[in-house]
Amino acid sequence: MADTVQEADRLRNTYDDALAGLSDSSRRKLERDAHTRSNRSAVVRLATSPDWVCPAGARTKFRDSWLERRSGGRQHEGVDLVGLRHDPILAPVDGVVTRRWDTLGGRSFDLVATNGDYYFGTHMSRFGAEGEVRAGEVIGYMGDGGNAKGVHLHFEYHPGGKHNPVNPYPIVDAHCTNRTDIDVSLYD
């Protein structure tokens, strides 16, 4: 055991020495690259998880709209799940849901998963469950509140906590199997 601890200390010191020899820009690039790999790992983990639940509780349609331009110079940091008014919105994971309202999105939810990941959804017509929730529990209903154009759920994923948005499309694409083509009406 003592040999293992000494080896770990030696490796840590070697790593620290290597970092000390880098320029600030090289160090920042390494940190960004590590952060990107961590985010990709989180997306792959959820896309392949048998426990993750599609937040659209009924037939839906969606496309990858990550970082598209929005009003006010904003970029789209989520995926829009189009549905019918009052279709259920489900908790994708176990966690704690809090409700909120603002003029941009109207009725919205924050969901903090048991592992610390953060989810955000907005444009709801009504709220559902609040507080501790289980994956698959109804936490709201589709709507067009706030600045929405058409009934949909704007859905975001932030691994490790708020302020770290990543593209949720691969996760939604893997789990939202009750979907129709983006050009097909949900009323058909």
Q: Encode the chain (188 residues) as per-residue pLDDT tens digits.
A: 677 778 777 877 776 777 677 677 766 665 665 555 667 888 999 999 999 999 999 999 999 999 888 888 888 899 999 999 999 999 999 999 999 998 889 999 999 999 999 999 999 999 999 999 999 999 999 999 888 889 999 999 999 999 899 999 999 999 999 988 877 776 65
User: Could you tell me the pTM of the whole model?
Assistant: 0.80
Q: Which residues pair with 157 in a beta bridge?
A: 119, 166
Nearest to 113 by CA among 153, 55, 38: 55
- Choose which CATH entry (2.70.170.10, 2.40.40.20, 2.70.70.10, 1.10.1740.10) describes domain 71-175: 2.70.70.10
pLDDT score recorded for residue 11: 72
Contact 120, 92 (CB under 8 A): no
Domain locations along the chain: 2-47, 71-175
pLDDT of residue 28: 67
Q: Is 78 helix (H, G, I), strand (E, B) or coil?
A: coil
**Rounded to 5 degrees, what are φ and ψ at 125?**
-85, -35
pLDDT at 109 (0 to 100): 98
User: What's the rounded Cα separation, in Å, for the pair 178 and 180?
Assistant: 7
Q: Are 105 and 76 in contact (CB under 8 A)?
A: no
